Amino acid sequence: MDEYLETLRIEGRHEEADEYEKYRQEQNKAVQEWASKLRAEGKEVKYLKDGGIEIQL
């Protein structure tokens, strides 16, 4: 769990936290789909700890 999400939960802002969590899940799904497409094109893709990707062109 990232710090922002944890802070929202601690502060009792559960609805906001749920919306943020859903947003992050959608974002991660989009990144994974894009990475799969790039791999299919023969590009080397690495996942980063922060949730991003690194592409070797």
| Residues whose CB is less than 8 angstroms from the CB of residue 51 and which lie 6 or more positions away in sequence, other chains included | 24, 27, 28, 31
Instruction: Say yes or no to pLDDT of 49 above 90.
Output: no
Per-residue confidence (pLDDT) for residue 55, from 0 to 100:
86
Structure confidence at residue 1 as a pLDDT band (50, 70, 90): low
Instruction: List the domain boundaries for the chain.
Output: 3-56
Q: Which of 18-22, 27-31, 48-52 has the lowest mean pLDDT?
A: 48-52
Instruction: Say yes or no to pLDDT of 48 above 70.
Output: yes
Q: Tell me the per-residue pLDDT of 37-47, one tens digit each, with 9 for 90 and over.
A: 999 999 999 98
10 Å CB burial of residue 20 (0-12, 13-18, 19+) is middle
pTM: 0.70
Question: What's the DSSP call for residue 18?
Answer: H
Per-residue confidence (pLDDT) for residue 5, from 0 to 100:
92
